[in-house]
Amino acid sequence: MNRSTTGVGLGSAAVAVRARKEAAAAVKALMFDTFGTIVDWRGSIIQEGKAWSKSRDLPIDWATFADRWRAGIVPGMNKVRNGELSWTNLDVLLGMVLDDLLKEFQIEGLSDEEQAEWNRVWRRLEPWPDSIVGLMRLKKSYTIAPCSNGNVALINDMAKHSSLPWDLILGAELAGHYKPDREAYLTSVSLLGLKPEEVMMCAAHSDDLHAARSFGLRTGFIHRPHEYGPSRDADTAQPGEFDIVAENMLDFASKMQA
């Protein structure tokens, strides 16, 4: 080893910058978690809920409603994972949770179409303010694709709603496996025609990134401090804990030299 590859004599900041440049140089595609990383699911559901219930004089705690909806899909995904349930896409899982929530929150008398429209709120989730600008910058240098547990139609409609500039849509449905199953990551990598180390999984959630890394992908952490509002602390990461650790999407784009 010589000085130039070990960085002896360079300050740790310079070493970190060079390590980031090397990671970015090898990466050809960026795959993004969407719910929480690209879009503000909680804030969007609360906002739609408040607007909806305002004219109906229904005192509903929409923050809890949103939190319960998001948490409620986990058991369904686990049933798919352990084979108790055959492949069931996220639209359907979200609809099953909604059925229960409407009863629990005593929201009655919705027509089937009104209920379906409520389920489609997941297609209308608003991006964080920096998501689109960051993705546009990154798209010039990388293939950018969602790798979400949301089904293709849901993720496409969400993209059309907010002009998210994806190159293509990858993710759980194409593999028939929910993250963090290895198939969800590696089927997406395979469809890109790339090696795992040429693809970076980008997310605000450490568990998603730990899984991706265990299957050979590079990892990019994007901090989303407000994802859970006051209900729960958002994940944080220390510099060096993932290939890239970024404060937000613009910081992430800068660190990826985009």
219 in contact with a copy of itself (CB under 8 A):
no
Task: For residues 32 and 38, give the distance between their C-alpha atoms in angstroms, rounded to a whole number.
Answer: 8
Candidates 34-42, 101-109, 127-135, 145-153: pick the segment binding a copy of itself (CB under 8 A): 145-153
Which of residues 73, 154, 158, 237 is near a copy of itself by CB under 8 A?
A: 154
Contact by Cβ (8 Å): 9, 3: yes
Using DSSP's 3-state secondary structure scheme, residue 28 falls into coil
Candidates 7-15, 127-135, 155-163, 199-207: pick the segment binding a copy of itself (CB under 8 A): 155-163
Which of residues 169, 203, 245, 258 is near a copy of itself by CB under 8 A?
A: 169
Q: Residue length, the chain?
A: 258
Give the shortest CB-94-to-a copy of itself separation in angstroms: 13
Closest among 103, 45, 47 to 69, alpha carbons compared = 45
Give the shortest CB-258-to-a copy of itself separation in angstroms: 14
Stretch 183-212 residues interacting with a copy of itself (CB under 8 A)? 191-194
* Beta-sheet pairing, 218-222 with 244-246: parallel
Give the shortest CB-153-to-a copy of itself separation in angstroms: 3
Task: For residues 203 and 31, give the distance between their C-alpha atoms in angstroms, rounded to a whole number.
Answer: 9
166 in contact with a copy of itself (CB under 8 A):
yes
Task: For residues 100 and 143, give the distance between their C-alpha atoms in angstroms, rounded to a whole number.
Answer: 39
Task: For residues 141 and 30, give the distance between their C-alpha atoms in angstroms, rounded to a whole number.
Answer: 10
Give the shortest CB-56-to-a copy of itself separation in angstroms: 29
Candidates 58-66, 94-102, 159-167, 239-247: pick the segment binding a copy of itself (CB under 8 A): 159-167
153 in contact with a copy of itself (CB under 8 A):
yes
Closest among 220, 184, 191, 177 to 78, alpha carbons compared = 177
Across 58-173, where does the E strand assignment appear? Answer: 143-148, 170-171
92 in contact with a copy of itself (CB under 8 A):
no
> If binding means CB under 8 A, how many residues of this protein chain bind a copy of itself?
20
Give the shortest CB-237-to-a copy of itself separation in angstroms: 29
Candidates 6-14, 39-47, 167-175, 232-240: pick the segment binding a copy of itself (CB under 8 A): 167-175
The DSSP H or E segment spanning 32 is strand 29-32
Amino acid present at 251? D
Task: For residues 234 and 27, give the distance between their C-alpha atoms in angstroms, rounded to a whole number.
Answer: 27
Stretch 9-68 residues interacting with a copy of itself (CB under 8 A)? none
Indicate the DSSP class of residue 149. Answer: S
Which residues in this chain contact a copy of itself in the complex, by CB under 8 A? 91, 143, 151-154, 156-157, 159-160, 166-169, 173-174, 191-194
